[in-house]
Structure 1
Amino acid sequence: MAVLLGLTVPVAAQPVVSKTYSYFTIGGKTAEELDSELERRGPLTRHTGARHPGATEIKFGGEVSYVDRGGRCSIGAVKVTVRTHIILPRWRNRNAATGNLARIWDALSADIKRHEERHAEIARTHARTLEAKLRAIRPANSCDILEGKVGEISREAIEAHDREQIRFDAIESKNFDRRIMRVLKNRSGAGD
Structure 2
Amino acid sequence: KHGPQVKSTGSRHPGATQMAFTTRVSYAESPGSCRIADAIVTVKVKVILPEWRRSRKADADVKLFWDTLSADIKRHEERHVEIAKNHARQLEDALKASYPQRSCAEAKARAAQITAAELARHDQDQVRFDRVESVNFESRILRLLRYRIERIESGQLPPA
**Fold shared by both chains (TM-score > 0.5):** yes
- 1:151 maps to a residue whose letter is A
Secondary structure of the corresponding residue to residue 49 of structure 2: strand
1:74 is displaced (CA, Å) by: 1.4
1:98 is displaced (CA, Å) by: 3.6
Secondary structure of the corresponding residue to residue 117 of structure 2: helix
1:90 is displaced (CA, Å) by: 1.2
Please show how residues 8-27 of structure 1 align to structure 2 within 5 Å: none
| Mapped pair 1:171 → 2:124 | no
Q: Please name the residue that 1:187 is paired with.
A: 148
Unaligned runs of 5+ in 2: 154-160
- 2:98 maps to a residue whose letter is I
Q: Please name the residue that 2:101 is paired with.
A: 140
1:140 is displaced (CA, Å) by: 1.7
Rounded to whole Å, the distance in 1 between the matches of 2:84 and 2:55 is 31
Please show how residues 8-157 of structure 1 align to structure 2 within 5 Å: 39=1, 41-157=2-118
Q: Write out the 4+ residue segments of structure 1 that deviate beyond 4 Å after TM superposition.
A: none
1:141 is displaced (CA, Å) by: 1.4
RMSD of aligned Cα (Å): 1.4
1:157 is displaced (CA, Å) by: 0.4
Higher strand content, 1 or 2: 1
Unaligned runs of 5+ in 1: 1-38
Rounded to whole Å, the distance in 1 between the matches of 2:149 and 2:85 is 34
1:121 is displaced (CA, Å) by: 0.5
